[in-house]
Structure formats: C-alpha cells, structure tokens
Amino acid sequence: MLAVPLPRSASGLAGAAPGRRWRREAGRGRQGLVLGIYSSEKDEGAAQFTSAGDAFDRLVSGKLRELLSLCGPPLKKGKTRIFHGLHQDFPSVAVVGLGKKNAGVNDQENWNEGKENIRAAVAVGCRQIQDLEIPCVEVDPCGDAQAAAEGAVLGLHEYNELKQKKKPVVTPQLHGSAESEAWQKGVTYAEGQNLARYLMEAPANYITPIKFAEHIEQKLRSFSNVKVHIRPESWIATQEMGAFLSVAKGSAEPPIFLEIHYLGGANTNDSPLVFVGKGVTFDSGGISLKPSSGMDAMRADMGGAATVCSAIVTAAALNLPLNIIGLAPLCENMPSGKANKPGDVVRAKNGKTIQVDNTDAEGRLLLADALCYAHNFKPRAVVNAATLTGAMDVALGSAATGVFTNSSWLWTHLYEASVLTGDRVWRMPLFEHYTKQVTDCPLADLSNIGKYSRAGGACTAAAFLKEFVTASHWAHLDIAGVMSNKDEVPYLQKGMAGRPTRTLVEFAARLSQDSHNTK
C-alpha cells in the first residue's frame, strides 16, 4: 500500500473534505478506477460488489470491503466514496452505488432501471476521477458494459471549446477484458449524443447553417457508403420550397438544405428510413420576436437536425445494415426588412398555401417542405425531430420526447428502443380535432398556428405537419421539452442534452433487423 487509505465521501456521507495535498498526490498516479456496488436487499444488509469489485477487493486482501464498512451505512444509489492508495496501479478508486442488484425494466417508468442506474453511477464516479485531474479512468462494466460506457462518455462530456481554461481530458476505458464489444458500442452511442450536444451548445455565430453542414460532412468523410449534399439557396428555390425560403430570407445568413445518404443496406435500392430534422440555427422569433430573456437557448433550435444527423453518423460508425437518408433544412429565423410578416401567405413545395400568422412558428414551415421532399425517396418510414413547440415542454417537461405518429408499427419500434436507452418517448394524439384548428384559415389552405392559440399547441403543430405527409409510416418527434438538461438526467451535465440521439440510433438498429416494408 502506498499511503494510508483515508476514505472520503463525495456525497458528504462520511470522511474528511479533500485537501489540496491529497488532490496533487492523487493526480500523480497513473489511473483511476470506478467500481460499482449494489445496495443490499435488506435495509441493514451488507452491500454487494460487482464481480470486478470483488476481484479488486481480493487483490487488496479485503481492504476495500473493510474500509467501506468503516465508512458507515452501505452506499445508496448514485452516491460515491473515493479511496486513495489502495493499489499502486489505481491510486484512486471511486466506489459508486448501483441500487438494487436485479433491477430490470420498470413498467411504471418505461425504462430499464438497471441500465439507468449504471449510467448514472458510472457518470458520477468518472467525474470524481476527473476532479482529481487523473487523465485515465478504468470503468467496471457493472454487468452491462454498454450502459457503463454510455455513463462514462456522456458523464464526462462538457462544451468548453471557447474557454481558455479547460477541464482535464479524461479517457474512460473498460476495466477487464470481457465485454469489450458492448463497451465499444456504448462509446459509439454516447459519442453520437455528444456530437448532437456539441452542435446544440455551440453559439449561433459559430454554428451557422453552412458551418453545421460542413461539420457533419467532415464527420462522415471517412465512410465510403455515405454521400453528403450541401444544397445552396438556389437549389432550395428550384425545389419550390417556398415555406422554408420565407423563413430563411429574414436572415443575412444563407440557408442550406443538408442531404445525407447512408447506404448500409444489403441493396442500395432498398427502401430507406428517412430522418428529417428542424435546423433553425437561431430562432429569434422573427417579427413575432421572442422575449429577450432566455433567447440565447434558441441557438439549440437546430436540435432536430443535430440529433438526426448525429444518429446517422453513429449508424455509419456502427455499420448498421440499412439505408438512411437524412434531410436538414438549415436557416436562421430573424427579424428584418425581408422577414415574413404576420399575415403573409407562402406556398409550400406540395402547392399548399400557408398563412404565417405568427413568425415564431417557423419550424413547421421548414419541415413542411422537407417532409414533401422526403417522399421522393419512397421511404419505408419517415421520422422527423424538431424543437417545435414550447407547449411540448409544458406537457411533458424533460421526461420524454412527444411522439405523434400515424403508425403503431413505428411507435412500437421507437418505444422499445427508448426503454433500452432510457431516453424515453411518449405517444401523443394526431386527432382530426387539431387538424380543423389549422385548416380553418381566412387567406390560405393552412394557418401556421392553431386558431385557439396556445391550447394543445404541440398537437396543433403536429396536425399542421401531417398535412404534408402521405407516407403511411411517419412519426414526428417534438423534442422541445428534452432540448436541455438542468439536473434531471443525472448522467448529463447542465446544458444542451442531445436527446434523443441514442433512441434514434437504437430505433434504426431495430429497423435494420425488421424485414417488414423494406422494398
């Protein structure tokens, strides 16, 4: 043993506060270790190590178990204790509470609780190691290496691109050699979500439409089965995307229509899954200007585009055996002499006319044209994602993405995917009731807001989009409520969340295994 192993608690449960000297000494070691521990079934029973925890405890002749019991009651879910100097290869060991041992799918919560517990615990443990400025951390797979990797990679992610003083980079690695494939899969899923988080968090003067497109193109450059088209404004005009263009023309920043073809399917002509994402790189509201407080968050109004494009980058990295097309109309929504004015009427690609009663309901205008275009590819399914309505946040908050779909087949796949990822979905209605509220319009075929203004705002927005869909398997994901994280998701730090990228990837993976409707 290198030093007297003083336990101390990050959760404030036991032990002394970290001293400066401790931090320096710990930082000098080679790597940190994160180990899981289950709570006992009975309240006062001894906690149970994972197999990696058991093995480590044997290696240090039972010292870890001894120290833990000296620290007080067994570790609760999500709580951690850190020990220094137990083993020369791992100068700092964070033990994290995993909750009860055989937690599986929780039918009330609609997620796999065991996986969620692992993600949360590993994320906390890794962050503790990062605080000690240790550059490398080995992570206990905790019986599910994919979930552990997701917790580690998501938990350590932070946007500090534009700060001079950055947090130390910590590279998480699997502890032990079993389950390395599952670990790598988890890393890939989490990196996908982190890409969406990066794009959403970045300021709007850094991620303009063209910069967004170039960033995604660069991520896809190495894949020979991917083609990226960065369509300029002239192309958008020839496509007669009048609704999209009407929003874009209010800004000095030119719009882009990003089109990605990922051909992973057995045949290049297999019917594709088409993803469509709202790509408003900044939403000021336009002439119907938003209040200035909190407006900065509207840099993430391209979250739909960010999550679907990141899901395709991830699908390519995983080499998923299906064809996916990604479409992202990208522009800013700004007030100017050229901007849409309330009451203006514009014409979408399918010929439908739209009265723009509120210029802040711009996302549906972009999506109307992109959804029309999506049908050119004879898709097996169309899935769009958009930070579409504040009303979605009012309805569900950040608990789940709202899904409006005309297909129970599609719903089942999305739902089952979300139970695994923990990034949940909840089905919402597409009633005719709401359609009537957008088709009753004085000057045009459709109004871009519901006639009862705020009531059921997420549903009237979905009903509006439905007017541009003829595909029999379509789902609209309103992700406004899950756009950012305060502290609700314990394995994501505060900031833009990149949700539900992992659910989209898992959904695509499931679709690739389902032969229904591929031709």
Does position 363 bind Zn ion by CB under 5 A? yes
Distance CA 434, CA 300 (A): 27
Q: Describe the crossing of helices 501-512 and 408-421 by its angle, rounded to 10 degrees.
A: 120
Report the C-alpha gap between 266 and 120 in whole angstroms: 37
Could you give phi then psi for residue 441, rounded to 5 degrees? -140, 135
Q: Cα–Cα–Cα angle for 138, 142, 148, nearest 5°?
A: 65
Query: Applying CB under 5 A, does 301 fall inside the site for Zn ion?
Result: yes
Q: Two tokens at 263? A: 């051909």
Residue 138 within binding range of Zn ion, rule CB under 5 A: no
Rg of the chain on CA atoms, in Å: 25
The nearest distance, CB 358 to Zn ion, in angstroms, is: 8
Nearer to Zn ion, 15 or 363 (CB): 363
CA distance 206 to 262: 26
Q: Is 273 in the site for ligand BES (CB under 6 A)?
A: no
Residues catalogued as catalytic: 290, 364
Structure tokens at 132: 């000690």
Estimate the crossing angle of helix 209-220 against helix 180-201, to 10 degrees: 160
φ/ψ of 69, rounded to 5, equals -70, -25
CB closer to Zn ion, 138 vs 362: 362
Shortest CB 453 distance to ligand BES, Å: 7
Check residue 449 for interaction with ligand BES (CB under 6 A). yes
CA torsion sign, 207 to 209 to 211 to 212?
A: positive
> What single DSSP character describes residue 51?
H
Q: What are the phi and psi torsion angles at 179 (to 5°)? A: 65, 25
**What is the spatial distance between Cα 122 and Cα 174, in angstroms, rounded to a whole number?**
11
391 binds, among Zn ion, ligand BES, none (CB under 5 to 8 A by kind): ligand BES
Q: Helix 113-131 to helix 145-156 angle, to the nearest 10 degrees? A: 40
Q: What is the largest CA-CA distance in the chain?
A: 81
Q: Given the rule CB under 6 A, which of 74-82, 108-116, 227-235, 389-397 is the region that contacts ligand BES?
A: 389-397
**6: nearest Cα among 26, 24, 31, 28:** 26
Shortest spacing between CB 395 and ligand BES, in angstroms: 11
The minimum distance between CB 432 and Zn ion, in angstroms, equals 25
Shortest separation between residue 285's beta carbon and Zn ion, angstroms: 5
Residue 482 contacts ligand BES per CB under 6 A: no
**How many Å apart are CA 101 and CA 261, to the nearest integer?**
43
Q: CB-based burial of residue 29 (10 Å sphere; 0-12 exposed, 13-18 middle, 19+ buried)?
A: buried
How many residues contact ligand BES, by CB under 6 A?
A: 17
Distance CA 46, CA 75 (A): 10
In this chain, which residue has its C-beta nearest to ligand BES? 390
Q: Minimum CB separation from ligand BES for residue 482, in Å?
A: 9
Q: Which is nearer to ligand BES, 152 or 444 (CB)?
A: 444
Binding segment for ligand BES (CB under 6 A), chosen from 118-126, 252-260, 269-277, 360-368, is 360-368
Per CB under 6 A, 387 contacts ligand BES: yes
- Closest approach of Cβ 491 to ligand BES, in Å? 22
**Of 138, 140, 150, 301, which one interacts with ligand BES (CB under 6 A)?**
301
By CB atoms closer than 10 A (0-12, 13-18, 19+), residue 283 is buried
Stretch that binds Zn ion, among 148-156, 317-325, 361-369, 485-493 (CB under 5 A): 361-369
Q: Does 357 bind Zn ion (CB under 5 A)?
A: no
Nearer Cβ to ligand BES (19/431): 431
**Stretch of 32-40, 237-245, 282-290, 421-429 lying at the interface with Zn ion (CB under 5 A):** 282-290
Of the candidate spans 235-243, 360-368, 423-431, 486-494, the one that interacts with Zn ion by CB under 5 A turns out to be 360-368
Q: Using the minimum distance from each CB to ligand BES, give the nearer residue, 246 or 389.
A: 389
Q: Which residue in the set 57, 113, 253, 362 belongs to the binding site for ligand BES (CB under 6 A)?
A: 362
| Residue 357 interacts with ligand BES (CB under 6 A): yes or no | no
Question: What are the residues binding ligand BES (CB under 6 A)?
Answer: 283, 301, 358, 360-363, 387-391, 393, 449, 457, 480, 483
